Amino acid sequence: MKKLLLSGALLLGACAAQAQILKPVKWAYAAKKTSPTEAVILLKATIEPGWHVYSQHVKDGGPVKTTFTFTPAKAYTLVGKTQEPTPVTRFEKTFDMEVSYFATSVIFQQKVKLAGPGPVTVAGKLEYMTCDDEKCLPPEELPFSVLIK
Amino acid sequence: MKNLLVWAALAAPLAAHAQQGYTIQGKIGTLSKPAMAFLSVRTNGVRHLDSTYLTNGAFTFKGKVNEIKEAHLMLKHDDKPADPTMRQRFDVLPFFIENRDIKIVGKDSVKTAKIIGSPTNDDNKQLDNYLRPYYAKLEALNKEFAGQPDKMKRDTAYIRTLNVRAAQYQKDAVQAKLTYAKTHPTSYLALVALNSTLSDDADAVGAEKIFRQLPPATQNSELGKSSLQRIQKLKLTQMGVEAPDFTLNDVNGKPVKLSDFRGKYVLLDFWASWCGPCRRENPNLLKAYAQYKDKGFTILGVALDKEADREKWLKAIETDGLTWPQVSDLKYWNSDVAKLYDVKAIPMNFLIDRKGNIVAKYLRGDVLNQKLAEVLK
């Protein structure tokens, strides 16, 4: 669904209209049941070439890190923290510190323990910011909800 | 009486159309269940999704739209569940939906299918063909770059020539779109083309003139309303207009007013301590400031830092050695001044002349130095 641009007129998306509809990061959510009482929530960011989404563990004094907040509910409890794959870590002279980020795509995973057998909806929100070499876009706060069948 | 009858006969099919809504009749080869077609139409930010199985290639969607809308027809060829860990590849046809009998015919996919019976989609195709040569030039540029040896790819002088050519091609494409919008005002695609030219450096005054020539129905459409909003915002910071005035506190809590700098050239610079690209641009600003500060030039830095990050803001100013006035309301992206200037990404800057008018935007690297050399001779 990346090519949501109309072939003709919005081919323009590639160029002039970019400033207006810059959306280099797209999020998708899913769940995988790993046992009758456990599941993993998958939060996936697909990132356009050149853009970065930052690790949850970027230290203070650098770019804005990615954060996940899950809405507490009786139907599930979180198991551990939200996991992320090994990010690209680079020393950034401008910040005088190491900055960890993801490019192309990243899947964050949150294990949950389910209270009962029925379908459960896990909801929450995430906040992330994205930059490329040229600029940074405003951080976005996105609500998500995932159904575990 | 005869005249009246003719009128009635002409009016009838029109009225029927308005009532009827759309019918999309698809025929994609001989695909059948589990092959499924999805129709997605977005109205005021809400997506409406319809779906149906194919039978011997055929499927039908019926419905009604209150105006022409962008829509997507998607075909799922099998019933495998989507794998959340994989990038999904869909067979999708983006098109415009309107209240007509539309046929969509293809051999084995909707991506390459033909749309029949819809003037708006015919216009889209025409516009597409008209713009294709302009985009071909940009694509050729990409290819040229990709074909260069690694050494050349890092050659900043070469990259600069590429950027100059790309900027020209984009300008040409924008001009072509505006020409299309001017010469095809009755087509909905005139609005689509016009809207796509509304980048940060667009000529909003010119765009508004073209917009006003569009039929009222187009102007009042969802896309029309958002385009006009964008035009009006752009007009606020367009070159030649007076820079919107504001007052913000500096690092010592002392109010600083933009118009206090009248008589000097001011670079209004939006940045933040957490913004890598902004910080990397600071050495360039330092150079420009050192060179021109005694020739009637100054910089006013507006930081989009958070209230809680006041210390980080101050530290960044110190680390980067910025000696020009620095102000912030510490409201992060909710900064009123960033809103006033419609800042959508940072770094962003505006060059304001001695009378307080905006004369340039988004000056970075060499371009900033060239511009300052030109105006501060």
Domains of chain B, earliest start first: 21-117 (2.60.40.10), 120-236 (no CATH), 247-375 (3.40.30.10)
- In angstroms, the CA B95 to CA B158 distance is 39
Q: Select from B49, B74, B85 the residue whose CB has the most chain A CBs within 10 Å, as the one to mutate to test that interface.
A: B85
Strands B114-116 and B101-106, by their bridges, are: antiparallel
Q: Would you state the pLDDT for residue A7?
A: 27
The answer to whether the CB of B297 falls within 8 A of the CB of B371 is: no
Q: Would you state the pLDDT for residue B377?
A: 80
Whether A138 and chain B come into contact, CB under 8 Å, resolves to yes
Q: Would you state the pLDDT for residue B86?
A: 59
Look at B276 and A12 and tell me if their CB atoms are within 8 Å: no
Q: Mind telling me how many Å the CA of A73 is from chain B's nearest CA?
A: 24
Confidence of residue B5 (pLDDT cuts 50, 70, 90): very low
Interval B127-142 mean pLDDT: 90
User: Residue A107 corresponds to which amino acid?
Assistant: I
Q: Would you state the pLDDT for residue B79?
A: 77
Residue A69 has pLDDT above 70, yes or no: yes
Residue percentage of chain B with pLDDT more than 90 = 70
Look at A95 and B279 and tell me if their CB atoms are within 8 Å: yes
User: Residue B190 corresponds to which amino acid?
Assistant: A
The Cβ of residue B355 has, within 10 Å, a number of other Cβ atoms equal to 10
Interval B149-156 mean pLDDT: 83
- Write out chain B residues lying below 8 Å of A134, CB-based: 277
Interval B246-272 mean pLDDT: 97
Domain that residue A93 falls in: 23-148
- Write out chain B residues lying below 8 Å of A6, CB-based: 70, 94-96, 124, 192
H or E element: which one contains B278? Answer: helix B276-292
B201 or A36, higher pLDDT: A36
Confidence of residue A15 (pLDDT cuts 50, 70, 90): very low
- pLDDT for B72-130, tens place per residue? 999 998 877 666 555 566 789 999 999 999 999 999 999 999 999 999 999 999 999 99
Q: For A18, which residue in chain B has the nearest alpha carbon?
A: B199
Q: What 3-state DSSP class applies to A39? A: strand
The Cβ of residue A65 has, within 10 Å, a number of other Cβ atoms equal to 21
Confidence of residue B264 (pLDDT cuts 50, 70, 90): very high
Look at A3 and B92 and tell me if their CB atoms are within 8 Å: yes
ipTM score for this prediction: 0.77
Residue B188 has pLDDT above 50, yes or no: yes
Closest by CA to A106, choosing from A44, A57, A149, A61, is: A44
Q: Select from B138, B274, B310, B334 the residue whose CB has the most chain A CBs within 10 Å, as the one to mutate to test that interface.
A: B274
The answer to whether the CB of B203 falls within 8 A of the CB of B234 is: no
For position A35, which CATH number holds?
2.60.40.1250
- Write out chain B residues lying below 8 Å of A96, CB-based: 319
Max mean pLDDT among A26-30, B324-328, B329-333 falls in B324-328
When CB atoms are compared, the residue of B92, B94, B199 closest to A17 is B199
Q: Would you state the pLDDT for residue A27?
A: 94
Interval A99-104 mean pLDDT: 94
The answer to whether the CB of B290 falls within 8 A of the CB of B363 is: no
Residue A3 has pLDDT above 60, yes or no: no
When CB atoms are compared, the residue of B95, B170, B230 closest to A15 is B170
Residue percentage of chain B with pLDDT more than 70 = 93
Angle at A110 between CA A105 and CA A112, to 5 degrees: 155
The Cβ of residue B229 has, within 10 Å, a number of other Cβ atoms equal to 11
DSSP assignment of B93-143? EEEEE-SSEEEEEESS-STT-EEES-HHHHHHHHHHHHHHHHHHHHHHHHH
Q: Mind telling me how many Å the CA of A130 is from chain B's nearest CA?
A: 10
Whether A133 and chain B come into contact, CB under 8 Å, resolves to yes
B374 or B236, higher pLDDT: B374
When CB atoms are compared, the residue of A6, A10, A15 closest to B173 is A15
Q: What 3-state DSSP class applies to B57? A: coil
Q: Is residue A5 part of a domain?
A: no
- Write out chain B residues lying below 8 Å of A99, CB-based: 276
Q: What is the mean pLDDT of chain B?
A: 89
When CB atoms are compared, the residue of A11, A135, A137 closest to B135 is A11
Classify residue B341 by its DSSP letter: T
Classify residue B29 by its DSSP letter: T
- In angstroms, the CA B333 to CA B248 distance is 15
Look at A10 and B193 and tell me if their CB atoms are within 8 Å: no
Residue B239 has pLDDT above 90, yes or no: no
Cα-flanking dihedrals φ and ψ of residue B158, to 5°?
Answer: -65, -45
| CA atoms lying within 13 Å on the CB side of residue B213 | 16
Q: Which two tokens stand for residue B268?
A: 């209004």
Cβ under 8 Å to B: A residues 4-43:
4-20, 22, 28-32, 42
Whether A92 and chain B come into contact, CB under 8 Å, resolves to yes
Classify residue B356 by its DSSP letter: S
- Write out chain A residues lying below 8 Å of B170, CB-based: 15-16
Q: Is residue A11 part of a domain?
A: no
- In angstroms, the CA B38 to CA B71 distance is 10
Q: For B200, which residue in chain A has the nearest alpha carbon?
A: A19
Q: Would you state the pLDDT for residue B201?
A: 78
Torsion of CA B225, B226, B232, B235, to 10 degrees: -140
DSSP assignment of B168-227? HHHHHHHHHHHHHHHH-TTSHHHHHHHHTT--TT--HHHHHHHHHTS-HHHHTSHHHHHH
User: Any bridge partners for residue B298, and if so which?
Assistant: B266
Q: Would you state the pLDDT for residue B12?
A: 44
Q: Is residue A107 part of a domain?
A: yes
Confidence of residue B167 (pLDDT cuts 50, 70, 90): confident
Residue A16 has pLDDT above 80, yes or no: no
Interval B128-140 mean pLDDT: 90
Q: Would you state the pLDDT for residue B88?
A: 60
- pLDDT for B268-308, tens place per residue? 999 999 999 999 999 999 999 999 999 999 999 999 999 98
Q: Would you state the pLDDT for residue B172?
A: 93
Torsion of CA B121, B127, B133, B135, to 10 degrees: -80
When CB atoms are compared, the residue of B85, B96, B196 closest to A12 is B196
Q: Is residue A70 part of a domain?
A: yes
Q: Is residue A133 part of a domain?
A: yes
Residue whose token pair is 């046809």: B93
Number of domains in chain A: 1
The Cβ of residue B12 has, within 10 Å, a number of other Cβ atoms equal to 10
Q: Mind telling me how many Å the CA of B120 is from chain A's nearest CA?
A: 12
Q: Mind telling me how many Å the CA of A131 is from chain B's nearest CA?
A: 8
B348 or B154, higher pLDDT: B348
List C-alpha distances in Å: A86 to A83, B100, B231.
10, 52, 44
- pLDDT for B23-66, tens place per residue? 999 999 999 999 999 999 988 878 899 999 999 999 999 999 99
Q: What is the mean pLDDT of chain A?
A: 84
What's the gap between Cα B1 and its chain centre?
53
